[in-house]
C-alpha cells in the first residue's frame, strides 16, 4: 500500500497537475460547450439522409433505442472520466491504467486527423458566404462562354450549382492522382477559418466558455427562421409528408439498425477525447449525470428538428423541379402542335399528352426522346448526404427562394457556427492532453502551444485545398475517424468496466456526485453497450472486406457528373496507414509501458541490493 501511495504522487507530479487548473465560469458554459460540439454538421446533413433511406418516421424507433442503449451511457462514462481525472485524454487513461494510456494517444491522433480535414468544410462555408453578397447568386446561372454565344459547356451538362461547387469552389481535377496547385481562394478561406479557431481558444476555456454561448444558441435561431421559411414554401409539405410517412418494412433491414447506432455514436462525438477534455475543466462535484442526459437529448432533438427543415427544403426543390419539367413539356406540346397558349395549363399537361397521342399519333411520335417524364416521387427520392447536400442541393433550393441572398447568408452562417462549434471541441481534444504533458507546459505558454497547433494544422490542411484536395478530404472523412473510433470506444468501455472495475468506477462517481450509480448505468455500461459495440465493430470489418477495392466519386468534366473510380495503390496504402496509425497506438503504448516497468523494476532491485551491501 505504501508503494501505491508513492506511485500515485509520482504520477501526479509527472502529469504536471496543479491546483490552479482552468475552469468553466459556470456549469452552463460546460453544457453549452458540449451541445456546441455535439450538434454539428452531421445533424444537418447525415441524419435527414438516413431518415429518408430507412423509412422516414420509422427510423426514429431504432435511433431513439440506440440513443438509450448506447449513446447516453457512453457519453456519461466519458464525462465521468474527464471530471474525475481532471486531465486530458492521454493523462486520464494513463491514470486509469498505465498499460492502456495508448487509448488516450489514439484519441489524440484521431482528433488530429479530424482537425486537419474538418476545417476545410468551414473554409468552403466561408467561400459560399462571401459569394452570397452579390446581386445574382453565382450558382444561380451558368456563366457565359468566351464568345458570348452560349453558356460554358461543363455547366450546360451539369447544373449551375454543381458547376459552381466543383469548378469554381474546388477547381477539381479528374482524379486523385492529378494534383495541381493550391486554389488561392480556398487557401485564404482556410487561413481565415484557422485564425478564427485560434481567436476562440487563445485564452483557453476562459475564451472558449464565452464563445460557446453564441455558437451553441445562434444556430437554433437560424434553424427556427428556416423552419418558418421552409414550411411556408410552395411544395414543402410534399417533402415533410414524404419524410414522415413511415415505411415499417425497413425496420427488418439490419442496415437500418447499424446506421442508427453509428449515427448516434458519431453524432455525440464519443472517443475523440473532446468530452474528456471539456469535463476535465469542471468542478469536482459538478452534476454531470443530468448534463449528460440533457446534452444527448438536445443533440437528438436537434437532428429531428433539422431534418424537418431539410425535408421542407427538399419538398420545395422537388416541387420546383417537377413544375419546371411540366412547364417544359407544356411548351414542347404547344410548339409542336401549334395550339393556342391557354389550351394547356400545368394541371392538364398529362391529360393532353394522352389526348394528343390519340389524335395525332404520327406527329406525337416525331417528338421522340424530347418528351420528358415528370415524376415528383423520383425528385423526392434523390437522397443526398454530406457535402453534396449542404453545398449543392441546399444552394439549389436557396437560389429559387425570393430574396435569395438573405437566405443564403443566413444558411451559411448557420453552417459556419455548427462547424466552428465542433472544431472547438476537436482542437481542445488535441491541446488539452498536450498542455498537460509537463515537458511542454514547462517550455511554452498555452497561447504559444495553441498557436503552434493551429499553424501546424493550417499548413497540413493546405493539402486539402489543392485540385485533388476534395478526394483526399473524402478519404479522410470516410476512413480517418470511423473504424478507429469504434475500436477506441470499445477498449474504453472494456477498460472502465472490467480492467479498472465497475466497482471502483461506481465509487468515483459516488465521490463526485454524492449518490450511487443507478442500475440502468451499470447494466448499460457493463453489458449492453460493449455487446452493441462489438457487433458494430464486426459489421464494419465484414463490410470493409466485402466491399472490395475502396472507391471514390471522381468528377468527370466531359460528362458533367461524378463517376465511381477505384483508389490507386498508394492511396489504398495511405488508407491503411490512417486506420493503423491510431489503432496501433494502443498495443504499442502497452508494450512500451511494459518494457519501461520491467526496466524500472530491475533498476530498483539493483539499487536496493547496492544499499544493503553498502
Partner 1 sequence: MPSLTVPPGAPPILQSLTVPPGAPPILQSLAVTLERMLVRILVLLYLAGAPALAQTLCQPNASNGYRVRISIKTALGNQAYEWNENEMFLFRATMAFAMRRYYKTETYNVDNIIVCNQTRRVSFWFVVISPENPTMLIPKADVEKAVSMSRHRINNAFLLTDRTLEFLGIYPTLAEPVNPDTPPWLIVFGVVIGAVFAGIIALLVSSLLQKRRKEKGMMEDGQDEEDRQMKGVENGINLDGIYNRGFTDDDRFTKL
Annotated binding site: 38-39, 43, 267, 299, 418, 422
Binding residues for Na(+): 38-39, 43, 267, 299, 418, 422
Nearer to partner 1, 29 or 307 (CB): 29
Nearer to partner 1, 203 or 561 (CB): 203
Q: Which is nearer to partner 1, 453 or 536 (CB)?
A: 453
Instruction: Please tell me the total number of residues recorded for the chain in this structure.
Output: 614
User: Judged by CB under 8 A, which of 159, 207, 250, 581 binds partner 1?
Assistant: 207
Q: Does 499 bind partner 1 (CB under 8 A)?
A: no
Residue ranges in 429-488 that form contacts with partner 1 under rule CB under 8 A? 447
Per CB under 8 A, 203 contacts partner 1: yes
Choose the binding region for partner 1 from 199-207, 222-230, 273-281, 468-476 (rule: CB under 8 A): 199-207
Q: Torsion-angle region of residue 24: left (phi > 0), alpha (psi -120 to 50) or beta?
A: beta
**Residue 370 binds partner 1 (CB under 8 A):** no
- Which secondary-structure segment (H or E) carries 489? helix 482-494
Alpha-carbon dihedral 465, 469, 475, 477, rounded to 10 degrees: 30
- Interaction between residue 20 and partner 1 (CB under 8 A): yes
Distance (Å, whole) CA 71 – CA 35? 14
Q: Does 346 bind partner 1 (CB under 8 A)?
A: no
Buried b (16+ CB within 10 A) or exposed e, 362-384: eebeebeeeeeebebeebbeeeb
Residue in 195, 559, 595, 609 binding partner 1, rule: CB under 8 A: 195
Q: Please, which residue, 447 or 597, has the CB nearer to partner 1?
A: 447
The distance of closest approach from Cβ of residue 19 to partner 1 in the complex, given in angstroms and rounded to an integer, is 4
Residue 566's SS3 state is strand
Rounded CA gap, 270 and 482, in Å?
11
Integer distance in angstroms from the first to the last C-alpha of the chain? 27
Binding to partner 1 in span 505-524, by CB under 8 A: 507
Question: Which residue among 27, 53, 130, 227 contacts partner 1 (CB under 8 A)?
Answer: 130
* Nearer to partner 1 (CB atom), residue 47 or residue 281: 281
Q: Is 405 in the site for partner 1 (CB under 8 A)?
A: no
Residue 191 near partner 1 by CB under 8 A: yes
Q: What span, in angstroms and rounded, lies between the C-alpha atoms of 38 and 295?
A: 8
21 makes contact with partner 1 (CB under 8 A): no
Q: What is the grid cell recorded at 278?
A: 471539456
| Ramachandran class of 413: left when φ > 0, alpha when ψ lies in -120 to 50, beta otherwise | alpha
Site string for partner 1, 144-183 (x = CB under 8 A): x---xxxx--------------------------------
Q: Which of 63, 76, 127, 266 binds partner 1 (CB under 8 A)?
A: 127
Minimal distance in Å, beta carbon 323 to partner 1?
14
Whole-number Å distance between alpha carbons of 51 and 277: 32
Sequence-distant (≥ 6) Cβ neighbours of residue 397 within 8 angstroms: 313, 314, 316, 317, 320
Q: Closest distance between partner 1 and the C-beta of residue 120, in Å?
A: 16
Q: Which of 225, 221, 229, 220 is nearest to 302 (CA)?
A: 220
Among positive and negative, which fits the CA dihedral 483, 258, 90, 422? positive
Distance CA 344, CA 358 (A): 16
φ/ψ of 25, rounded to 5, equals -65, -35
Residue from 59, 113, 166, 198 touching partner 1 (CB under 8 A): that is 198
| Residues at the contact surface with partner 1, assessed by CB under 8 A | 1, 4-5, 8-9, 12-13, 16-20, 126-127, 129-131, 133-134, 143-144, 148-151, 185, 188-189, 191-192, 195-196, 198-199, 202-203, 207, 331, 334-335, 338-342, 447, 507
Amino acid at each position: 500500500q505504501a508503494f501505491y501511495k508513492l506511485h500515485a504522487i509520482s504520477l501526479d507530479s509527472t502529469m504536471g497537475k496543479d491546483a490552479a487548473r482552468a475552469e468553466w465560469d459556470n456549469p452552463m458554459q460546460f453544457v453549452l460547450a458540449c451541445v456546441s460540439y455535439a450538434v454539428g454538421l452531421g445533424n444537418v446533413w447525415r441524419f435527414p439522409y438516413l431518415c429518408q433511406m430507412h423509412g422516414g418516421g420509422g427510423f426514429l424507433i431504432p435511433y431513439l433505442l440506440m440513443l438509450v442503449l448506447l449513446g447516453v451511457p457512453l457519453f456519461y462514462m466519458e464525462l465521468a472520466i474527464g471530471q474525475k481525472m481532471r486531465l486530458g485524454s492521454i493523462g486520464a487513461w494513463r491514470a486509469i491504467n498505465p498499460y492502456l494510456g495508448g487509448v488516450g494517444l489514439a484519441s489524440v491522433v484521431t482528433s488530429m486527423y479530424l482537425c486537419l480535414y474538418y476545417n476545410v468544410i468551414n473554409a468552403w462555408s466561408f467561400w459560399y458566404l462571401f459569394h452570397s453578397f452579390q446581386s445574382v447568386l453565382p450558382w444561380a446561372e451558368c456563366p457565359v462562354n468566351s464568345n458570348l454565344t452560349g453558356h460554358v459547356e461543363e455547366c450546360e451538362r451539369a447544373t449551375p450549382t454543381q458547376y459552381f461547387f466543383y469548378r469554381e469552389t474546388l477547381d477539381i481535377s479528374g482524379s486523385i492522382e492529378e494534383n495541381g496547385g493550391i486554389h488561392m481562394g480556398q487557401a485564404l478561406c482556410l487561413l481565415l477559418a484557422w485564425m478564427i479557431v485560434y481567436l476562440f481558444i487563445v485564452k483557453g476555456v476562459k475564451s472558449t466558455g464565452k464563445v460557446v454561448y453564441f455558437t451553441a444558441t445562434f444556430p437554433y435561431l437560424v434553424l427556427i427562421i428556416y423552419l418558418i421559411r421552409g414550411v411556408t414554401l410552395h411544395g414543402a409539405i410534399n417533402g415533410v409528408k414524404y419524410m414522415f410517412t413511415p415505411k415499417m418494412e425497413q425496420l427488418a433491414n439490419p442496415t437500418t439498425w447499424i446506421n442508427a447506432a453509428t449515427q448516434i455514436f458519431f453524432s455525440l462525438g464519443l472517443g475523440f477525447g473532446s468530452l474528456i477534455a471539456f469535463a476535465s475543466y469542471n468542478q469536482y462535484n459538478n452534476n454531470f449525470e443530468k448534463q449528460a442526459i440533457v446534452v444527448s437529448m438536445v443533440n437528438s432533438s436537434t437532428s429531428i428538428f433539422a431534418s424537418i427543415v431539410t425535408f421542407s427544403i427538399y419538398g420545395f426543390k422537388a416541387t420546383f423541379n417537377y413544375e419546371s419539367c411540366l412547364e417544359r413539356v407544356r411548351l414542347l406540346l404547344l410548339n409542336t402542335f401549334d395550339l393556342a397558349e391557354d389550351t394547356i395549363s400545368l394541371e392538364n399537361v398529362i391529360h393532353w399528352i394522352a389526348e394528343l397521342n390519340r389524335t395525332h399519333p404520327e406527329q406525337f411520335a416525331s417528338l421522340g426522346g424530347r418528351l420528358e417524364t415528370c415524376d415528383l416521387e423520383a425528385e423526392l427520392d434523390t437522397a443526398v448526404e454530406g457535402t453534396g447536400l449542404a453545398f449543392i442541393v441546399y444552394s439549389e433550393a436557396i437560389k429559387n427562394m425570393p430574396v435569395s441572398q438573405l437566405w443564403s447568408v443566413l444558411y451559411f452562417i448557420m453552417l459556419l457556427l455548427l462547424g466552428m462549434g465542433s472544431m472547438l471541441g476537436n482542437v481542445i481534444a488535441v491541446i488539452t492532453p498536450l498542455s498537460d504533458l509537463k515537458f511542454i507546459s514547462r517550455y511554452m505558454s498555452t497561447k504559444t502551444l495553441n498557436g503552434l497547433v493551429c499553424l501546424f494544422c493550417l499548413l497540413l490542411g493546405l493539402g486539402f485545398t489543392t485540385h485533388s484536395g476534395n478526394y483526399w478530404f473524402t478519404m479522410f472523412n470516410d476512413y480517418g475517424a470511423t473504424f478507429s473510433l469504434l475500436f477506441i470506444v470499445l477498449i474504453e468501455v472494456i477498460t472502465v468496466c472490467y480492467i479498472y472495475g465497475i466497482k471502483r468506477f461506481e465509487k468515483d462517481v459516488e465521490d463526485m456526485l454524492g449518490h450511487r450509480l443507478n442500475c440502468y448505468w451499470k447494466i448499460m455500461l457493463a453489458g449492453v453497450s460493449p455487446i452493441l459495440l462489438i457487433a458494430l465493430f464486426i459489421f464494419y470489418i465484414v463490410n470493409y472486406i466485402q466491399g472490395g477495392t475502396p472507391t471514390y466519386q471522381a468528377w468527370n468534366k466531359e460528362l458533367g457528373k461524378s463517376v465511381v473510380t477505384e483508389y490507386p495503390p498508394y492511396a489504398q496504402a495511405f488508407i491503411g496507414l490512417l486506420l493503423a496509425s491510431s489503432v496501433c497506438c494502443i498495443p504499442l503504448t502497452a508494450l512500451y509501458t511494459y518494457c519501461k516497468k520491467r526496466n524500472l523494476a530491475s533498476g530498483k532491485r539493483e539499487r536496493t541490493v547496492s544499499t544493503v551491501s553498502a
